[in-house]
Amino acid sequence: MNRWRDALRSTPMRLTLRLVVLFLLVGSVSFLVTWWLANEALLSATEIVLEQEIEELSASGDPEIIARAVGDGAEQADPEHQILRYDGPGGPVGNYLGPLPGEKLRQADLHDKGQDIDGSYILLSERIGEALLTVGQDTEAFDDLREVFINVLLFTLLPTAGLLLAGGMMIGLRSARRLTAIEDTLARLTSGDLTARLPPTPGPPDDLSRVGAGIDRLAAAQEASVAALKQVSTDIAHDLRTPIQRLALVLDQGAADLPDAPAQEVFNRASAEIQHISTTFDALLRIAQIEGSGPGQNFAPVDLGQLARDIAELYDPAAQESGHQIWLQVSGKTIVQGDRTLLGQAIVNLLENALRHSAPGTVTLAVDGQTLSVGDHGPGIPEAEREAVLRRLYRLDRSRNTPGNGLGLSLVAAIVRRHGAELILTDNHPGLLATIRFSATDIRKGVGDREAGSAST
C-alpha cells in the first residue's frame, strides 16, 4: 500500500530507524560488557570456592589421607554438580576418572556415562607433591547468569526497540498523511485551483504546520493577485470595448446614412479594421482567461472525432475554393473531457493556419486514439522557432504580410494546456504537423454537467 510505503519513507520513520539501530548497537555492547564482567566475577568466586575445597582436602599433606578424603567426598557428592578426583601414588580416586583436559583453572566438557557425568564443569587442579588434586563444579551458575541476561535482553531491549519502531511508524504515518495533504493542495494550486488550502491540523504548531501556513499564505497572495488581475482585465475589457462598440455603431450608422458607394466602402473598411482590433483583443483576453482559470467547470465529454468531422465538413467548400483538400482520418471513437467550443476553436485555428500557410494541396485532419493532428505541406516552422510561435503575438518573418494576428497558435496552446493535453509541433516532411495529445486519464474521465457550447439559438 502506498500509504505504508510513504510512511516508511517519511523523515520521522527514517530517523526512528536510525535511532533504533543506534539504540540496539549501544544496548548490545553495554549488555555484553556487563555480562562479561558478571561472568568474570562469578568465575573468580568459583575459583575461590574451589581453592578452599582443595585446601581443605589437602590440609594433611598425606597422600593416603587425601585419597581417603577425596574418596569419601566423592561418594557423597552428586557428580552432576561436583567433581572430586585425586591422582595420587595409588592411582586415580574420585567420582570422575575419565581423561582430564589441561591443568589449572578451566572450563571443560566431561563425559562419563557410568558416573552420570555429561556436561560442562569448571575444574581446578593443583599439584600436591607428585599427585594432582582436581575439584570441579558444574556451570549451572553460569547458565543461570546467561539466562538472566538473555531474559533481560528479551524483555527490555527488544520490546523497547519494537515500541520505538511502532512509534516511529505512527509518527511517520501521521506526517505522511500531512505531507500528502500538502502535496494534494500543491497539486490543486498548480492545476489552477487557487482556492485550495491545507486542512487544519490538530495539536500545537510544528515545522510541518509552519510550512503549511507558508503555503496557505502563498496561495492566498496568489489568489488575491489573480483576482486583482481579473478585475483589471475586466475593467480594461469594459473600458476599451465600450468605445470600440460606439465606434463600430457610428461606422455602421455612417455607412447606412451615406448615399454613395465609395464613401460607404471606406466606412465598411473601417468597420472591418475595428473587427480585427476586437478579434485580437478578444484572443488576448481569452488566452489570459484560459491560462488564469482552473480546470473547466463546464467540461463535458466531447466526441473529438465528430467535432473534427463537423469542422472538416464546414471548411471543405472554403478549402476547395483555395485549391486545398481536407483529408479527414478518424479511426475509433475518442471521447475527451473538455469544452467543445474551446476544442473546436483549437481545431479551427490549426486548420485555418494550415490552409493559410500552405500552397494548394492536401491538408490532413486526423483523430486517432488520444491524438488529434493537423498536417500541411507548407513551408513548416523552423525547429528553432517552434517554441516561439506559441508565444503571444509572435509571427514568423515570412508571415508578417499574411492575415492573422499571431495569436492563433498561442490560443491553441492555452486551450490545450487547459485540457491537460500537449501540443507538439513536428516536421511533416515537408510542412508542419501539429499534434494535440490528450493524456490517457483525460479520456472518458468523469461526467461533466453539460456540453459547453451545445446551447445554440
Question: In this chain, which of 170, 211, 258, 274 binds other proteins, going by CB under 8 A?
Answer: 274
Q: Are 158 and 141 in contact (CB under 8 A)?
A: no
Q: Are 378 and 431 in contact (CB under 8 A)?
A: yes
Note whether 401 binds other proteins by CB under 8 A: no
Q: Are 170 and 200 in contact (CB under 8 A)?
A: no
Note whether 341 binds other proteins by CB under 8 A: yes
Interface positions, 44-63, toward other proteins (CB under 8 A): none
Note whether 286 binds other proteins by CB under 8 A: yes
Q: SS3 for 84?
A: strand
Question: In this chain, which of 107, 115, 201, 298 binds other proteins, going by CB under 8 A?
Answer: 298
Segment interacting with other proteins (CB under 8 A) among 20-28, 73-81, 289-297, 424-432: 289-297
* Closer of 27 and 404 to other proteins (Cβ): 404
* Closer of 211 and 248 to other proteins (Cβ): 248
Q: How far is the CB of 388 from other proteins (least distance, A)?
A: 21
Q: How far is the CB of 252 from other proteins (least distance, A)?
A: 4
The whole-angstrom distance between residue 356's C-alpha and the CA centroid of its chain comes to 46
Interface positions, 346-365, toward other proteins (CB under 8 A): 348, 352, 355-356
| Cα 329 to Cα 305: distance, rounded to the nearest angstrom | 9
Note whether 191 binds other proteins by CB under 8 A: no
| Cα 88 to Cα 82: distance, rounded to the nearest angstrom | 19
| Cα 371 to Cα 337: distance, rounded to the nearest angstrom | 13
DSSP state of 198: P
* Closer of 354 and 390 to other proteins (Cβ): 354
| Cα 288 to Cα 173: distance, rounded to the nearest angstrom | 41
* Closer of 203 and 403 to other proteins (Cβ): 403
String of b and e for 392-414 (b: at least 16 CB within 10 Å)?
A: beebbeebeeeebbbbbbbbbbb
* Closer of 95 and 364 to other proteins (Cβ): 364
Note whether 142 binds other proteins by CB under 8 A: no
For residue 138, what are the β-bridge partners?
121
C-alpha cell at 313: 465538413
Q: How far is the CB of 404 from other proteins (least distance, A)?
A: 8
Q: SS3 for 269?
A: helix
Q: SS3 for 27?
A: helix
C-alpha cell at 5: 510505503
Per-residue interface string for the shown chain with other proteins, residues 63-102, x marking contact by CB under 8 A: ----------------------------------------
* Closer of 261 and 384 to other proteins (Cβ): 261
For residue 302, what are the β-bridge partners?
336
Contacts to other proteins by CB under 8 A = 234, 237-238, 241-242, 244-250, 252-253, 255-256, 268, 271, 274-275, 278-279, 282, 285-286, 289-290, 293, 296-298, 310-311, 313-315, 317-318, 320-321, 339, 341-342, 344-345, 348, 352, 355-356, 403-404, 450, 452-457
